[in-house]
């Protein structure tokens, strides 16, 4: 089992087109996404193993994650499933089959909460560990089962930047007169 940093172009098979890109810039709500491209990684020499973890989306510090999920862009070969969460867990997507048709959005599974905004009933996003990202962290995809030789997965997150939008003035203008 290995961990691959999919936010670094130093990882075999990762190019500029697969790194997470914000769709809106600024202190606002935005969607970020990245593509896990097994085809490109295999071409670059990747040979997968059960339990590989791909650190795919980098969530900035001082952010609140509202929702997240994934879409299969190309069906994966092999009998494999995935979990998606911070720290290689399964709170966003849990045990989703990756051999579904292209265009399929992964569902939450038994433990996950894909595309859920807190409904007040023990939501994953009510947990401090997911709701507020105090320091930069990655959303990881863990692939279990047979090693995939092909497949593409788009992972996305809706994130709110809650960092200070401006710096407090040390002195008010009235005090300078």
**pLDDT, tens only, 54-86:** 999 988 888 888 888 899 999 998 789 999 988
Q: According to the model, what pLDDT value does residue 123 have?
A: 46
Q: According to the model, what pLDDT value does residue 143 have?
A: 93
6-10, 117-121, 131-135: lowest mean pLDDT where?
A: 117-121
Residue 120 has pLDDT above 80, yes or no: no
Count Cβ neighbours within 10 Å for each residue of 94-113 and write b for 16 or more, e otherwise. Answer: bbbbbbeeeebebbbbeebb
The answer to whether 64 and 132 have CB atoms below 8 angstroms apart is: yes
DSSP code for 53: E
Q: According to the model, what pLDDT value does residue 176 have?
A: 57
Report the mean per-residue pLDDT for the chain. Answer: 78
Q: According to the model, what pLDDT value does residue 30 have?
A: 85
| Cα gap 133→141, rounded to integer Å | 18
| Cα gap 177→175, rounded to integer Å | 6
Could you read off the pLDDT of 87-115 as tens digits, one per residue? 887 778 888 999 999 999 887 766 666 66
3-state secondary structure of 142: strand
Q: According to the model, what pLDDT value does residue 37 have?
A: 94
User: Regarding predicted confidence, which is higher, 172 or 38?
Assistant: 38
């Amino acid at each position: 089992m290995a961990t691959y940093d999919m936010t670094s172009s130093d990882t075999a098979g990762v190019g500029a087109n697969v790194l997470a890109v914000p769709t809106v810039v600024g202190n606002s709500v935005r969607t970020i996404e990245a593509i896990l491209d097994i085809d490109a990684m295999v071409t670059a020499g990747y040979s997968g193993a059960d339990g590989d973890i791909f650190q795919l989306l980098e969530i900035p510090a001082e952010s609140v994650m509202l929702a997240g999920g994934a879409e299969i862009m190309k069906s994966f070969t092999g009998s494999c499933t995935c979990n998606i969460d911070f720290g290689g867990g399964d709170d966003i997507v849990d045990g989703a089959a990756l051999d579904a048709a292209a265009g399929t959005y992964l569902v939450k599974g038994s433990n996950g909460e894909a595309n859920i905004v807190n409904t007040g009933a023990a939501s994953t996003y009510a947990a401090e560990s997911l709701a507020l990202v105090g320091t930069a962290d990655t959303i990881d995809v863990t692939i279990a089962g047979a090693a995939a030789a092909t497949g593409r997965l788009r992972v996305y997150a809706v994130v709110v930047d809650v960092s200070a939008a401006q710096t407090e003035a040390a002195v008010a203008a009235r005090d300078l007169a």
